[in-house]
A and B are shown apart, each in its own frame.
Chain A
Amino acid sequence: MPAPLIETRDLAKTYRMGDQTVAALRAVSVAIDAGEFVAVMGPSGSGKSTFMNLIGCLDTPSGGSYRLAGEEVSHLSADALAAIRNRRIGFVFQQFNLLARTSALDNVELPLLYAGVPAQERHERARRRLAQVGLEDRAHHLPSQLSGGQQQRVAIARALANDPLLMLADEPTGALDTRTSFELMALFQSLNRDGMTVVIVTHEPDIARFARRVVGFRDGRVVEDRPIEPEDAAARLAALPEPAAA
């Protein structure tokens, strides 16, 4: 059996707030295999965002170990972590975090830019990713000219740009309406079906329902970890009443 893609053992994170030490994460041991679709759930303050930052290599743990694709990454330097984020992880954020006044294509190219990919190849790959999320005709639009759902799809194209092992989405539907949320989840499901490992952080049970496994956090610990039968986002989308004609 191959090693899991993500394997944390007694992962812990403590913050100092003034003279108090706050434990955001206490001894979390989770293993996620390649090809899984995991929803990380929990109320705010449960530690789910801290967990997400740690497995996304945005932060370093205070204790425990974290192996990504078999490699121990908990003690790597900031530059090495930047390289891992660049090559292995694709991020999708609640607020999209696209660069303003920068075309969709240039936004998607950003990770390739830091990977040192030559300009020609950068354009081609970015274009392909935009086509994959159905936005090939919006390549030269600015984020301000795109709807929320379109912006989030540009963000997904950006996350995919460097062929990562893992997609991490932090409340990806938090700023979207129901219909657009379902559209987005359908996209995630389709990516997952094609083999992409997807981890999304959400506090909405309605969104977690589309995943195949739910990991629940509370007070810095894993309190729930079970596989679920996912709902089909595309089917839910079809069942929604047609939007009122504007």
Chain B
Amino acid sequence: MSLLATLRIALRALRVNKLRSALTMLGIIIGVAAVITMISVGRGAQARVEEQIKSLGSNLMIVVPGSTTAGGVRLGAGAVQTLTEDDAWALQREVEEVQVAAPSLRGGAQIVAANANWSTVIQGVTPEYLEAREWPVVAGRGFEPQEVTGAGAKVALIGQTTARQLFGDADPVDQEVRIKQVPFTIVGVLDRKGQSMIGQDQDDVVLVPLATARNRILGTAQGSTLRRVATISVKVRSGADMKVAEEKVRELLRQRHRLQPGQDDDFTIRNLSEILAAQETSSRILTLLLAAVASVSLVVGGIGIMNIMLVSVTERTREIGLRMAVGARGRDILTQFLVEAVVLSLVGGFVGIVLGVAGSFAVGSLAGWRTELSSAAILLAATFAAAVGIFFGFYPARKASRLSPIEALRYE
């Protein structure tokens, strides 16, 4: 018997018990919808973390001043700026794993354009900073070497948010702004970075040359002859071991700061990439976990199909007997019931996909979570639904195909 004819018989049998078929499918529908929605929620979380990693720059460590002890008094982290620009250059020169070490200063300031003003973060940086953060300039140019040496030029790079606040849609390049009464020329606009791990807008920033920041904006308290800096962003060469690099950086800094063995570090190394990698792993596990929980409902749906198919086989024993009497072979009966189960699960799977896609959009817009639909998840759910149909449909179908025709015909 052709598959098409079998399919028609299956569809007719399913139509006869519309409500029952619908309820049976419900298990599969919920299962497939749950798998798709959960995976898209999980992948959304994953994508967020991946984006943060990208915005941070890969293989990045950040060295910040740690606590110091002065005469038995332990001062909090950052109370004394223990890092210097020379520390950064030393790291870059002497630790082979380090690709760049970028010193930077940071402070807040009111910035004034022609007819607008905006309070933002001012960072004093060197060109290496943009390399370490993998932060390209999308309009204009970056800092020239001569602009960051000596006293520093009065040039600035502007973040996307600050640019919009000050200039709206106008092109900020070559515009003049004043930071703490000092006029600066904007030479470039930075690419969009998005939010940081802790939700800060990384685009709300103005970058100026490190020397300029020290001399003209952030004051002498942070300056002095030692050329202290607030942070050193260290980018490790790709392929190098972050742990090894971190140890070498620590060793060199301890040596440069003349710390005795047993003495606490006067700086802290934050290996952000590692934190993010851990977060990525956990969000991937979250995705798997959600998918696993959702799959359980698919399996439960499959058991529902098996249950109904068993009832159906018992109910239609006489029909099976008659089909056998007029010439159906065992395998014809087996195919018939199997096709019925697979049609149930496939139709359920299809409805489930539609609901799952709708569900992930609903979660995205109602809960405000980021969701990411994946065609792989849809394919997986559909395949799984069909497999569930075959797997759970097989036992009842085989039971039907093994009936003896006379016993089936006599069945009341």
For residue A110, CB closer than 8 A to chain B, the reply is yes
- Closest Cβ–Cβ distance, residue A209 to chain B (whole Å): 27
Main SS of chain B's interface residues?
Answer: helix
Q: How far is the CA of A99 from the CA of B16 in the complex (A)?
A: 12
Report if A116-B1 is in contact (Cβ < 8 Å); known contacts: A83-B327, A101-B12, A111-B326.
yes
Residues of A within 8 A of B322 (CB): 93, 97, 99
Q: State A217–B324 Cα separation when bound (angstroms).
A: 27
- Can you list, as one digit per residue, whether each of A83-102 has a CB less than 8 Å from chain B (1) or not (0)? 10111000101000101111
With A58-B405, A58-B406, A93-B409 known as contacts, the answer to whether A101 contacts B16 (CB < 8 A) is yes
| B326 neighbours in A (Cβ, 8 Å) | 85-86, 91, 110-111, 114, 158
Q: Within 8 Å CB of A177, what residues of B? A: none
Interface flags, A65-81, vs B, CB<8A=1, else 0: 00000000000001100
How many residues of chain A have a CB within 8 Å of chain B? Answer: 27
Beta-carbon contact of B325 and A59 below 8 Å = no
B329 located at the interface, meaning its Cβ lies under 8 Å from any Cβ of chain A in the complex: yes
Give the A-B contact count at a CB cut-off of 8 A.
64
Using CB atoms, name the residue of chain A closest to B327: A86
Q: Is the CB of A114 within 8 A of B1?
A: yes
Return chain B residues, CB-CB under 8 Å to A53.
406
Q: How far is the CB of A181 from chain B (nearest CB, A)?
A: 21
| Residues of chain A from 142 to 160 with CB closer than 8 A to chain B in the complex | 158
Select B323's contact among A56, A58, A110, beta carbons within 8 Å.
A110
Find chain B residues with CB under 8 A from A56 CB. 325
Q: Which residues of B contact A83 (CB under 8 A)?
A: 327, 329
Closest partner residue, chain B, to A106 (CB atom): B12
Contact indicator B1/A113 (Cβ below 8 Å): yes
Chain B 299-326 interface mask (CB, 8 Å, partner A; 1/0): 0000000000000000000110111111
A86 to B321 alpha-carbon distance, docked (Å):
13
**Distance (Å) between the CB of A107 and the closest chain B CB?**
10
Given the complex of chains A and B, what is the CA–CA distance between A66 and B329 in angstroms?
21
Closest to A83 in B: B327
Beta-carbon contact of A99 and B1 below 8 Å: no
Asked whether any CB of chain B lies closer than 8 Å to the CB of A3, the reply is: no
Residues on B with C-beta less than 8 A from A22 are none
Residues of B within 8 A of A158 (CB): 326
Choose from B5, B327, B328 the contact partner of A87 (Cβ within 8 Å).
B327
Residues from chain A with Cβ under 8 Å of B321 in the complex: 97
The answer to whether the Cβ of B51 comes within 8 Å of any Cβ in the partner chain is no
Within 8 A of B (CB), among A106-128: 110-111, 113-116, 119
- When the two chains form their complex, are residues A58 and B409 in contact, meaning their CB atoms are under 8 A apart? yes
Asked if B12 and A114 sit within 8 Å, CB to CB, the answer is no
Minimal Cβ-Cβ distance residue in A for B318: A97
Check if B406 sits within 8 Å of A114, measured CB to CB.
no
Indicate if A228 sits at the interface (CB-CB under 8 A).
Answer: no
B66 within 8 Å of A (CB atoms): no
Is there contact, CB below 8 Å, between B12 and A79?
Answer: no
In the complex, which of the residues B2, B16, B325, B404 contacts A91, with contact meaning CB atoms closer than 8 Å? B325
Contacts of A162 in B (CB 8 A): 327
Contacts of A93 in B (CB 8 A): 322, 409
Instruction: Encode contact with B along A190-205: 1 for CB under 8 Å, 0 otherwise.
Output: 0000000000000000
| B window 1-24: CB within 8 A of A | 1-2, 5, 12, 16
Give A50 Cβ to nearest chain B Cβ, in Å.
9
Kindly provide the distance from the CB of A154 to the nearest chain B CB, expressed in whole angstroms: 13
Inside 8 A of A79's CB, which chain B residues have their CB? 329-331
Tell me if B50 is interfacial: C-beta within 8 Å of chain A: no
A126 to B: closest C-beta gap in Å: 13
CB distance from A74 to the nearest CB of B (A): 16
CA distance A115 to B329 in the complex (A): 10
Is B201 engaged at the interface, CB distance under 8 Å to the other chain?
no
B332 within 8 Å of A (CB atoms): yes
* A94 → chain B closest CB, angstroms: 10
Which of B12, B327, B404 has the most CB atoms of chain A within a 10 A radius of its CB? B327
Query: Which chain B residues in 162-202 approach chain A with CB under 8 Å?
Result: none
A162 and B327 CA atoms in complex are apart in Å by 10
What are the residues of chain B within 8 A of A87 when measuring CB–CB? 327
**Closest chain A CB from B409 CB (angstroms):** 7
A100 to B16, CA, bound (A): 10
Measured between C-beta atoms, what is the minimum distance from A58 to chain B in Å? 5
Q: Which residue of B lies closest to A115 (CB)?
A: B327
Q: Are A97 and B409 in contact (CB under 8 A)?
A: yes
Bound: A62/B319 CA distance, A: 27
Complex-state Cα separation, A86 to B328, whole angstroms: 8
A131 CB contacts on chain B under 8 angstroms: none
Q: Which residues of A contact B331 (CB under 8 A)?
A: 79
A102 CA / B409 CA spacing, docked (Å): 18
Residue A82 interfacial (CB < 8 Å):
yes
A87 CA to B12 CA in the complex, in Å? 26
Q: Is the CB of A114 within 8 A of B409?
A: no
Q: Which residues on B are within 8 Å of A, measured CB to CB? A: 1-2, 5, 12, 16, 318-319, 321-332, 404-406, 409
Across chains A and B, which 8 residue pairs bring their CB atoms closest together, nearest first?
A: A86-B327, A114-B327, A111-B326, A82-B329, A97-B322, A58-B405, A79-B329, A58-B406
A interface list, Cβ under 8 A from B = 53, 56, 58-59, 78-79, 82-83, 85-87, 91, 93, 97, 99-102, 110-111, 113-116, 119, 158, 162
- Name 20 extra pairs, CB < 8 A, besides A114-B1, A114-B328: A56-B325, A59-B405, A59-B406, A79-B329, A82-B324, A83-B329, A85-B405, A93-B322, A97-B325, A97-B409, A99-B319, A101-B12, A111-B326, A114-B323, A114-B326, A114-B327, A116-B1, A116-B2, A158-B326, A162-B327
20 A-B Cβ contacts within 8 A? A58-B405, A58-B409, A59-B404, A78-B330, A79-B330, A82-B324, A82-B327, A82-B329, A85-B405, A97-B318, A97-B325, A99-B322, A100-B16, A110-B323, A113-B5, A114-B326, A114-B327, A116-B2, A119-B5, A162-B327
